[in-house]
Chains A and B, each alone.
Chain A
Amino acid sequence: MIEKLKFFLNVTGNNLWQFRTRNIFSVTIICLSFLTVGIFLSLSNNLRATARDLASNMSIAFYLDGGLPADAVEALRRELETPAFVDGVSLVTPEEALERFRANFPDLADIVAGLKGNPFPPALELRVNAKASASREVIAFVEGIKARPGVTDVLFNQDWVEKMHGFSRLAGAIGAFLGGILILTSFFIISNVVKLNVFARKNEIEILRLVGATNLFIRLPFWLEGITLGLLGSLLSLGLLFVVIRLFPAYLGASLGALQEMLRFRYPDLTQALALLAGGAATGFIGSATSVSKFLKV
């Protein structure tokens, strides 16, 4: 078995070397295609992570009428604690709100000092768990509470979370679209390269048929060639992706200003890296198998 495997790998290696120029071209195209997919995947990773950060810090503040009786506030607090997506609820008194304002905006201390009384209303602050942060259930719940008597306003940074999720989906979609086109191109290139290799080895294939080679014996080296080309291309693209991720902040990062955070690349995780490699191998195999079954009548 090992001897057979060695034999086929040896044949594949020799064949790849024999037509190295067209094979290098093919690997380059595959590499660029998967690099494009990788870059958008990395961007999408970053946007998704940013959305997750935002969501995990998200709280919803319900501002209350200052005249609302304490038992009504307490009843509302208990009600807010009921849903499963709520991690906790706390009451922020006008005094605490004023203290926070002083602490957060020390430059505005003079204005606060000049005020007669406390302008801040009491509020119930609700922490939502990250998974449910922008879900329809939360939005419906917030809308329901907002309509209650005694609730004057709501502060809910759901829009940002949704925007980040939207950007992440957009980056993923652009990556999938561009990558899809390029991977399709790779597929056709591999298919044509293998077709050329089949034609170049027509005589050899004919001889193999005449000496009693099975279809598998004839096809296997071509399949292995396709898989090797795909794997080499995607492996090279992963290497280049790591270089891009390392060099991007050094060369372009600072000049992007506020966009820097959104356009920051994140390394693909192990599953994504393995998926890229498997994608390369699959593209190579399908491209080669299509070509072999179409142009190699054995």
Chain B
Amino acid sequence: MIELHHIWKQYQKPYWALSDVTLQIEDGGFYFITGPSGSGKSTLLRTIFREILPTEGQILVNGVNILKIPDSGIYTLRRTMGIVFQDFRLMFHKTVFENVAVPLQVVGVSHRDIRRRVFGTLQKVNLHQKMWELPAHLSYGEQQRVAIARAVVNNPEIILADEPTGNLDPELAFEIVTLFKEINKQGATVIIGSHDRELIRHFGDNILFLQKGKIVGKEAH
């Protein structure tokens, strides 16, 4: 479970990117965080994987206050999470296989297991036939699927996706969120930051509405 208690974040005075955000994310849930541009969606997601520190407040992941983890130990938190970005953040000089293998290499998985698990994950996102290609040779939708494969290859408990469909056309966006939904069915908690109303209407089990850094509404279906 992820718990945020009275989270405040200020980048620059007098604006608050997050104002007194308190919420609970249940294990195995499928969540959308939505709101207009600048409402604080990305800031909220980035505080959860501790890319940025809140100005005030407390974040507990499975009961551990992640703000108390020293910088040198932050990797332990990140290994429990898979992160997907709007700009994919792929290594363009490495093949699809090499990109997806990275989270396994950092935890010291053997070469044989890496091959097996990367191939299996690429099959799930239907990219196994392109695993020796460079990402630059793939379409945007395929590149985003590589990023998703990289996020899930390590079977993380939590998947955080910041505008994962922002660069994709509606059809591809639908396909990508379907993929997230399948991953969620296998047990992972999925939190997606998005302002795509159509997608949210179709897939949103739990929706959190953000405006000017405040939670202004919650919906659960």
Contacts and interface: CB of A to CB of B under 8 A. Distances in A.
Do A and B pair up? The answer is yes
Interface of A: 3-4, 7, 18, 203-204, 206-215, 217
B110 A3 contact: yes
A211 B110 contact: no
B106 A211 contact: yes
Contacts of B77: 212
Contacts of B79: 211-212
B49 interface: yes
A214 B106 contact: yes
B110 A213 contact: no
16 contacts: A3-B110, A7-B105, A7-B111, A18-B93, A207-B89, A209-B78, A210-B49, A210-B89, A211-B78, A211-B102, A211-B103, A212-B77, A212-B103, A213-B75, A214-B75, A214-B106
B106 A208 contact: yes
Nearest to A206: B89
Interface string B101-126: 01101111011000000000000000
Interface string B65-94: 000000010011111000100000111010
A203 B89 contact: yes
Contacts of A208: 102, 106
Nearest to B147: A207
A212 B106 contact: yes
Interface of B: 49, 51, 72, 75-79, 83, 89-91, 93, 102-103, 105-108, 110-111, 150, 154
B60 to A, nearest CB: 19
B105 A212 contact: no
Contacts of B102: 207-208, 211
Contact of B91 (A3, A7, A204, A215): A204
Contacts of B75: 209, 212-214
By secondary structure, the A interface counts as helix
Closest 7 CB pairs of A and B: A212-B79, A212-B78, A213-B106, A211-B103, A212-B75, A214-B75, A204-B91
Contact of A210 (B78, B105, B108, B110): B78
B106 A217 contact: yes
Contact of B83 (A3, A7, A18, A210): A210
A265 B45 CA distance: 67
Nearest to B153: A211
Nearest to B83: A210
Contacts of B103: 211-212
A207 B100 CA distance: 11
- A203, A206, A210: most-surrounded residue (chain B CB, <10 A): A210
Contacts of A18: 93
Contacts of B154: 211
Contact of B111 (A3, A204, A212, A217): A3
Contacts of A214: 75, 106
Contacts of B110: 3
A19 to B, nearest CB: 11
Nearest to B79: A212
Nearest to A209: B78
A3 B51 CA distance: 31
A296 B196 CA distance: 36
Contacts of A213: 75, 106
Nearest to B78: A212
A207 B92 CA distance: 12
